[in-house]
Amino acid sequence: MLKRILVANRGEIAVRIIRTCHEMGIETVAVYSTADAQSLHVQLATMAICIGPAKAAQSYLNQTAILTAALETGCEAIHPGYGFLSENDEFAELCTRCGLKFIGPSADVIRQMGNKAAARSLMIQAGVPVVPGSQGILENAEQALEQAQQIGYPVLLKASAGGGGRGMRRVFAPEELASALAAAQAEAVACFGCGDMYLEKLILSPRHIEFQIMADQHGNVVHLGERDCTIQRKNQKLLEESPSRVLTPALRQAMGQAAVKAAQCCGYEGAGTVEFVLDAHGNYYFIEMNTRIQVEHPVTEMVTGRDLIREQLRIAAGLPLSFSQSDIQLQGHAIEVRINAEDPTKGFAPAPGRTEFLHLPGGCGVRVDSALYAGYELSPYYDSMVAKLIVHAPTRLLAIRRMRRVLEELIITGYPTGADLAHMILYHPDFLKGEYSTAFLEEHLEQLLEWLETGWLPKTQEES
């Protein structure tokens, strides 16, 4: 087993990784920026090294500083968490060259999956269903028009290097295409430094269903069921659950097998997520593969009883998967709500500040993943997510009730969060019935905010 690793991340995920490492007897080296000197991950790690100023480009994305820290402290491996360098193929390659194990798949696999247009082609070869779309990168607006005509409107323009919902535009008619392409391309260049675009058919009212997979170095690949991440704001996930209300056992099996195939066809290693959109008729289409641990991994841990970080570390050490496909049974129901320091009444604008008072909920079937403590000052330089609340209960309804209770207990003062809005979602009749699409929040935001403002809770239909 590994003896010492460097955690190249911050916030809740760094804390999450450090906790499992310490349970396994693995020492941890935290890295931090000058803005993060008082952060929890720095306190919890075996040792900590400052790698640069607040700006991520000079610290958490500073490959040389991170590699130097790992080598100087005698680490054997680097866990990249999510975000930052986790899907950077260059960094994965540099780790290998420095004799450090990058905890994740090979640089080649990261490169291939990070290029969404290339990943699509690979899935087509592997026989995994993909959304009808363009062949490779669009050359210009004329070609985009031609391809959109063939596929049929509406279409979705997507950045090949995209992530976090950026560089995407919906197009409903040919006359909108050229300007949408220019706007999406400009956004993609600004966010990812690459303006390569492709287009897909826009699936109307879809669900976002993703499958967690785990692959070891010996060719074993297992999926750990799905997560339903349909509740999103601006194409970013807000609430995730497992199992999904809309999957039949047969559909679960088919999609799970497709996810395993996706991992097998690229020689995958470690934890990964295969994302699909599911239309109203039960057709599912691959949209992308994330080659890292995801924010929402705890819901899978709750229903499968497996520690995914532990499994990542075992795989990195060369051990075989500790379970086979038949060992994986989804027990009960889990829901995660992301608590972001943002103002839902102002278009979800980030709103960092000082954590004046904090009470984190607890109790039966409750897990809180957070690096927050009272007095902690949020840095405007990083992501606005401050906590993940996760509940587990025997049924979906009981999990919903538990999450409502958890959100009622949570107290964070000093800045606004989306907690109350999430609370309202858990009372919405469509959410309770499980009848909604990725457009849920867009369609109901006004109503939910009105409920919030007036303090009025709708009569729920949950007992029916």
Catalytic residue positions, numbered: 292
Find the shortest distance in angstroms from Cβ 231 to ligand ADP: 10
CA distance 373 to 127: 48
Find the shortest distance in angstroms from Cβ 440 to ligand ADP: 11
CA distance 385 to 15: 14
Q: Quick check: helix, strand or coil at residue 16?
A: helix
Are 222 and 328 in contact by the 8 Å Cβ rule? The answer is yes
CA distance 438 to 240: 12
Structure tokens of 105?
């798949």
Find the shortest distance in angstroms from Cβ 170 to ligand ADP: 8
Q: Is the peptide bond before 105 cis (omega within 30 degrees of 0)?
A: no
> CA 270 → CA 103, 218, 296, 320, 348, distances in Å?
7, 11, 16, 11, 33
Please list, in sequence order, all residues whose beta carbon lies within 8 angstroms of the beta carbon of residue 179, skipping any fewer than 6 positions away: none
Find the shortest distance in angstroms from Cβ 162 to ligand ADP: 4
CA distance 83 to 95: 17
Which residues are 348's β-sheet partners? none
Which residues are 48's β-sheet partners? 30
Q: Which is nearer to ligand ADP, 22 or 166 (CB)?
A: 166
Q: Is the peptide bond before 320 cis (omega within 30 degrees of 0)?
A: no
Interface residue list for ligand ADP (CB under 6 A): 131, 156, 162-165, 200, 202-203, 206, 208, 232, 235, 275, 277, 287-288, 438
Q: Which is nearer to ligand ADP, 20 or 438 (CB)?
A: 438
Q: Which is nearer to ligand ADP, 145 or 191 (CB)?
A: 191
Element (H, E) at 178: helix 174-192
Q: Quick check: helix, strand or coil at residue 431?
A: helix
Find the shortest distance in angstroms from Cβ 302 to ligand ADP: 21
Q: Quick check: helix, strand or coil at residue 268?
A: coil
Find the shortest distance in angstroms from Cβ 329 to ligand ADP: 27
Are 438 and 206 in contact by the 8 Å Cβ rule? The answer is yes
Residue type, 290: N
Find the shortest distance in angstroms from Cβ 228 to ligand ADP: 11
Structure tokens of 241?
């659950």
* Nearest Cα residue to 370 out of 380, 359, 381: 359
Are 358 and 374 in contact by the 8 Å Cβ rule? The answer is yes
Per the listing, tokens 């798949």 go with: 105
Per the listing, tokens 């669900």 go with: 207
Structure tokens of 130?
């993909």
Structure tokens of 332?
């009960």
